[in-house]
Amino acid sequence: MLKRLPLYPLTTEVNREGHLVIGGCDTVELADEFGTPLYIFDEAGLRNKCREFREEFGKRYPEVSVIYASKAYANAALERIFNEEGLGLDAVSEGELGIAMSAGFPMEKVYFHGNNKSQRELELALKWHVGRIVVDNFRELDMLEKLTEATGVKQDVLLRMTPGVDPHTHQYTSTGTLDSKFGFPLPLKERAVERAMKVRGLNVVGLHFHIGSLIYETEPYEEAIGFILKFAVEMRKKYGLELRELNTGGGFGVQYTLDKPAPPISFFAEKITSAIIRGCKKYKLELPKLVIEPGRSAVAKSAMALYAVGVVKEIPGVRTYASVDGGMADNIRPALYGAKLEAVLANRMRARDAGKVTISGKFCEMGDILIRDIVMPKLVSGDILAVAGAGAYSLPESMNYNAFYKPAVILVKDGRVRTIRRRETLEDITRCDIL
Ligand SMILES: *Cc1c(COP(=O)(O)O)cnc(C)c1O
């Protein structure tokens, strides 16, 4: 099990009792105090990752903004940390904008995204003075034209383009191919620029693409950059578009399991910045400001999820199921797109492996399996499992199936603990029902 430790948050270690420790806190004690399932974020790991992004891109390129894609996990306390670390924020809904507001996040550092923004959301974005709206489609341009006419503001926008690039990831996390619901479609890209440049209330400051998530190679980014720079030159000639900002989205892969390593951030930084510098030289463009939008890679590794083992069911000659007190309701990723996870036995880190076991959840779906056939010590009721890579897309995609109470989330640092989201209660579950 010890070989899995590099998949865990930065400050993870094992203490003398053989317990897993994070941020100086014994996870067995945390499970006892806060209950399970429990999501634990490592503050040092989070801050370190923010700095890694800023440094690795910043030392290779003159002007860079790092924008945290908050859909990976939108939490007010974490957003304060991102702000302190100099990151901006990407929000895609009224709710995500609202969380940023509640965190006191500077709205001029917010990028408002979405493939189907409502009129109300656009009104809010204008009223709250978000830094950029990333325009996805013609209907949005129409709505923004009317809204800016009414208010007289001039809003900075980027246009989201579909670069027609396949990032070789799961089809559910691929967004930049021709056949995509996101962005202006390839055949209409020129019309999009022509139309947007005519809207008086909009200031088109640049272009955006986001090709997908969990991308382990850099060629798709380089290809998309080549495409967009070539397009930018044409659009400058035809419509006077000045590419002052180039937003290359997020999608950087992270290592969830031992058998699938991800390239370091420095590698993405090197390939992306050199592709832009090369392309701008070729097309005689001034270097635009570079904006990147990491979501998953900013938070995934900095959290673990603790579960308590309940029933261990051995089906002779078939399989052993160990059911935990969470599952698909707090982490749907394995059920939704076959995400692979790793776990360790937090209360007996030095125990010997005994064989394969399948970690199942407690919800009424056969697909509610967290990890199939993982090699582990023999599990018994009461054991505490710690799942790695729990920081991104688990909590925000969690649900109340079987009236599950969504878990508590804590932040640890130097032996201190702070609750950043309390566990739900029956009251939360029944609050919206009307008798
Ligand atoms: C989801 C998303 C991101 C972040 O993607 P990750 O894979 O989490 O890094 C960035 N930009 C846009 C527009 C997105 O939709």
Which architecture, in CATH terms, is 113-294?
A: Alpha-Beta Barrel (3.20)
Say which residue, 304 or 170, is predicted with more confidence.
Answer: 304
Ligand 1 atom index nearest CA of 295: 8
Segments making up each domain of the chain, as ranges: 2-42+300-430, 113-294
- Return the number of other C-beta atoms located less than 10 Å from residue 42's C-beta: 26
Query: Which of 53, 67, 68, 71 to probe ligand 1 with, by most ligand atoms within 8 A of CB?
Result: 71
Residue 179 has pLDDT above 90, yes or no: no
- The string of pLDDT tens digits covering residues 129-165 is 999 999 999 999 999 999 999 888 899 999 999 988 8
- The string of pLDDT tens digits covering residues 313-322 is 999 999 999 9
Please give the single-letter amino acid code of residue 166.
D
Query: Which of 210, 272, 301, 337 to probe ligand 1 with, by most ligand atoms within 8 A of CB?
Result: 210
**Cis before 396 (ω within 30):** no
364 is catalytic: yes
Pairing of strands 384-387, 343-345: antiparallel
Average pLDDT over residues 380-391: 98
Share of the chain above pLDDT 90, in %: 93
Average pLDDT over residues 265-273: 98
- CATH number of 2-42+300-430, picked from 2.40.37.10, 2.40.50.220, 3.30.230.10, 2.40.30.10: 2.40.37.10
d(CA 128, CA 108): 9
Decide: 110 and 88 in contact? Cβ < 8 Å: yes
pTM: 0.96
Residue 324 has pLDDT above 80, yes or no: yes
- The confidence score (pLDDT) of residue 328 equals 98
Same fold flag, 2-42+300-430 and 113-294: no
Decide: 79 and 103 in contact? Cβ < 8 Å: yes
- Return the number of other C-beta atoms located less than 10 Å from residue 273's C-beta: 23
Closest CA to 398 of 336, 338, 318, 315: 336
- The confidence score (pLDDT) of residue 349 equals 97
Mean pLDDT estimate for the chain: 96
Residue 347 has pLDDT above 90, yes or no: yes
Catalytic residue among 25, 280, 364, 432: 364
d(CA 47, CA 38): 21
Ligand 1 atom index nearest CA of 294: 9
Residue 38 has pLDDT above 80, yes or no: yes
- The confidence score (pLDDT) of residue 50 equals 98
